[in-house]
Amino acid sequence: MNSLVVKLLVQRISLGLLLIFLVSILIFVGTQILPGDVAQSILGQTATPESLANLREELGLNVPAYQRYFSWLGGVLQGDLGTSLTNGRDIATSIGERLGNTLFLAAWAAVISVPLAITLGLISVLYRGRWPDKLISAVTLSAISIPEFMMSYILMYFVAVKLGWAPSVAMLNSSMGFWDKLHAITLPVAVLVFVVLAHMMRMTRAALLNVMQSAYIETAELKGIPRLQVIWRHAFPNSIAPIVNVVMLNLAYLVVGVVVVEVVFVYPGMGQYLVDHVAKRDVPVVQACGLIFAAVYILLNMFADIVSILANPRLRHPK
């Protein structure tokens, strides 16, 4: 690995960590400027001024904001996300189970959507301008144009209510077996696959078509190499960087953007957990969830940048 590649990797990693730090500031400031009083929302409108003052002091709300931020950030770096204001539970413990459920849902959506998107992209390029290409483009564009909540309710009505093939509510618990969990998340996984499939497929198609215009591809075709082999062995390896970028963006969405799907299907994940505590104005929980979502999104994009650098032959083998 040459010095240029190492320099670029260090820059990407440093930039990612800096972005997480800046986002943590934005999240903390955003939660602090929210209208209303946390103590008032906890004790209710009938609380006396003395009880409100005591609770503000107990919660540390009388301490300057910058001190509260650094205290919160120091706890986060040590794995301490604080305590929920509404139920007094440790946030890290509560989020651990919820995050596991969200990652379980996102992982199965990715396992289905990523290979399917790449396969459809390859088929679309192989039959460019013919009916398979047009059919794939039409179906995927139709799927991406339907909002998530509408797609969720359509599948819920036909698949769950009318046909009875899957449960309409994706509830999980620790006593369920592996296959029972898969059956429970059938509909939310289907919605997430529909949402991310079109974007990944079209970017795969565009990246391959861009490489197919290269001179070495034309040379391979003139040698009589079958078109599928040309696409798979020559075009696809040189299209990995943009394909990985779009795959990572959609994987980040599968973790960060599942709030609507989790709420519709009452799925016990991070999105549902965040929405529940936003309504209760539980600031520590909102801060912790926001920071985790942001970190996942930034880290996945940073990983895509690293793969793009390592997959670029001009960087790995400079003249």
Residue 83, φ and ψ in degrees, nearest 5: -125, 140
User: At 240, is the pLDDT very low, low, confident or very high (cuts 50, 70, 90)?
Assistant: confident
How far is 180 from 109, CA to CA, in rounded Å? 16
- The rounded Cα 116 to chain-centroid distance in angstroms is 18
pLDDT at 314: 66
Residue 262's CB is within 10 A of a number of other CB atoms, namely 23
Cβ contacts of 57 within 8 Å, gap of 6 or more: none
Contact 191, 261 (CB under 8 A): yes
Mean pLDDT, rounded, for 37-58: 69
Phi first, then psi, for residue 11 (nearest 5°) are -60, -45
Supply angle C-alpha 275, 279, 280, rounded to 5: 115
Residue type (1 letter), 319: K
Q: How far is the C-alpha of 138 from the C-alpha of 83, rounded, in Å?
A: 49
CA 60 to chain CA centroid, Å, is: 33
pLDDT digits (tens, 9 = 90+) for 123-162: 888 888 888 888 988 888 887 788 888 888 888 888 888 8
**Predicted pLDDT of residue 197:** 86
Of all residues in the chain, what percent carry a pLDDT higher than 90?
A: 7
Structure token pair of residue 125: 């390029």
What pLDDT was estimated at residue 45? 66
Domains, the chain, ordered by start: 3-35+81-316 (1.10.3720.10)
Q: What separation in angstroms does the CA of 67 have from each of 28, 59, 61? A: 12, 13, 10
Please write the tens of the pLDDT for every residue from 65-96.
Answer: 788 888 888 888 888 888 887 777 888 888 88
Q: What is the pTM of this model?
A: 0.79
